[in-house]
Amino acid sequence: MNKLMMLFILSAILLASCHKSNDNNNEITATVSMEANSTNDVYYGFANGVAGSNLRTDWDIAFSVPLQTATILINEGAGVELYCIGDTSVWKSADTTNLQTRIPRFNNKSNWSDGAFNLFATGGFNFGWGTYNISVHSVYGDSIYIIKLTDGSYKKLFIRNRIGSPDTYVLRWANIDRSEQVDTSISGVSSFDKKHFVQYSLVNKKVVEAEPDKGNWDLLFTRYIVKVPAGPGVFLNYPVTGVLINPDEQGIKVTGVAPENANYTDTTASFTSQADIIGWDWKINDPTTRLYSIAPNTSYFVKLSNGVIYRIYFTNFVSSLDGNITFKTKKVE
């Protein structure tokens, strides 16, 4: 190998190293693209970068995989809305009359186990949408819902049960006038044991594996609904771009310290499994200019299931129209 070729290879290696990290204590600078108008959900792993990306409108609801769980999420970031109409006796009569007077149900962003269908669960064997029967090891549905899907259509929906063996979710939905009724099941849910949730599209009548293997991602860049003040005592449901942490991990927020120098010991708070510990307010929107800036002196630390801790702080967000989010990460422990 001649000297010129050797110099070329050496230069390429050096350039690759410089691209991976900067000079500030081996911090990694990364940019996640949610695509124009932030149409994609992006799963990111600290160790290996983007673990998966999918069009948000690909699915409507998601079912928890682990046995002895019965969490059901809605895809609120894609416009899905959920309304409880009553018990199973109202299947025939349920319609959208006065639907605007009902309060829509959304996921609890702080707790992955508390999906829109699980709100108002009474505890014990009650999961909100149904109750666990210990003698047959299945959850039986007891509520009828009106759901607005990703395509904007409204359907009536009945989650009939989660059968313990074989591990299956059974559901029924139809047009509001009960035409085009669909009775289907999602069987072998436990076969997705490398994931926290399996997604389903009622629009396309199929399972969608949106989530990558749970061990490959730490952060989910997505959109979801929050309540924002719109006057004295008035709040609006507003879609935001935010970050949720993996259900198996914990996070902590540090403020008042320059993020490049921050450590998790700079706060008296403890690590928490709160899913939206990073959330959406790491960016600030100027109401006059409508331009975004990054919240000053704010950083976050994420503790992985194996105890490894990473620091992350954000450096750039133009708008959801742009779809790009830039941040810095560093393994600190």
The tens digit of pLDDT for each residue in 94-139 reads 999 999 999 999 999 999 999 999 999 988 899 999 999 999 999 9
Segment among 16-30, 86-100, 139-153 with least mean pLDDT: 16-30
**Inside any domain, residue 229:** yes
Q: What are phi and psi of 175, to 5 degrees?
A: -60, 165
Same domain, 83 and 108: yes
Q: Is residue 12 one of the residues assigned to a domain? A: no
Residues 82, 186 share a domain: yes
**Residue 11 pLDDT more than 80?**
no
Q: What is the mean pLDDT of residues 229-240?
A: 91
User: pLDDT category, 6, cuts 50, 70, 90?
Assistant: very low
Question: Is pLDDT at 3 greater than 90 in this prediction?
Answer: no
Q: Are residues 50 and 69 in the same domain?
A: no
- Total domains in the chain come to 2
Residue 5 within any structural domain of the chain: no
Q: How confident is residue 9, by pLDDT bands cut at 50, 70 and 90?
A: very low
- Which residues form the domain of 36? 24-55+215-331
Average pLDDT rounded to a whole number, residues 143-170 = 96
In a domain, residue 2? The reply is no
**Average of per-residue pLDDT across 289-306:** 96
At residue 320, the pLDDT reads: 87
171 and 238 in a common domain: no
Go through the chain and tell me how many residues it has: 333
Given a cut of 90, whether residue 21 has pLDDT beyond it is no
Q: Answer whether residue 98 is part of any domain.
A: yes
Read out DSSP for 152-220?
S-EEEEEEEEEETTTTEEEEEEEETTS-S-EEEEEE-GGGGTTSSEEEEETTTTEEE--S--GGG-SEE
Cβ neighbors of 303 (< 8 A, separation 6 or more) are: 249, 250, 251, 252, 271, 309
- Domain end, chosen from 209, 232, 252, is at 209
What is the rounded average pLDDT of the residues 200-220?
Answer: 97
User: Percent of the chain beyond pLDDT 90?
Assistant: 85
What is the chain's mean pLDDT, rounded? 92
Q: Of 124-138, 142-156, 248-262, which range is least confident?
A: 124-138
Q: How far apart are the C-alpha atoms of 189 and 205, rounded to whole Å?
A: 16
Asked whether residue 29 carries a pLDDT value surpassing 80, the answer given is: yes
Q: Are 201 and 59 in contact (CB under 8 A)?
A: yes
Do 124 and 235 lie in one domain? The reply is no
Q: Is the pLDDT of residue 16 over 80?
A: no
| Same-domain check for residues 163 and 280 | no
Q: Using CA atoms, how far apart are residues 233 and 275, in angstroms rounded to an integer?
A: 27
Query: Would you say residue 14 lies in a domain?
Result: no
> Is residue 64 predicted with pLDDT exceeding 80?
yes
Global pTM reads: 0.91
Phi and psi at 298, nearest 5°, equal -130, 130
pLDDT of residue 14: 35
**Mean of pLDDT values over 283-296:** 94
Residue 76 in domain: yes
Question: Do you find a cis peptide bond into 104, omega within 30 degrees of 0?
Answer: no
Do 41 and 71 lie in a common domain?
no
pLDDT of 23 over the 90 cut: no
H/E stretch holding 144: strand 143-148
Indicate if 303 and 200 belong to the same structural domain.
no
Residues 36 and 81 in one domain: no
Give domain status of residue 247, yes or no: yes
Q: Is the same domain home to 183 and 119? A: yes
* pLDDT value of residue 154: 98
Rounded to whole angstroms, the Cα distance separating 303 from 245 reads: 10
Instruction: Indicate whether 153 pLDDT > 80.
Output: yes
Of 193, 209, 225, which closes a domain? Answer: 209
119 shares a domain with 45:
no
Tens of pLDDT, residue by residue over 299-331, are 999 999 999 999 999 999 999 889 999 999 999
Choose the final residue of a domain: 209, 236, 258: 209
> Quick one: 318 and 180 in the same domain?
no
What CA–CA distance (Å, rounded) separates 1 from 8? Answer: 11
Alpha carbon distance 310, 329 (integer Å): 7
Q: Is the pLDDT of residue 10 over 90?
A: no
Q: Looking at residue 20, what is its pLDDT?
A: 38
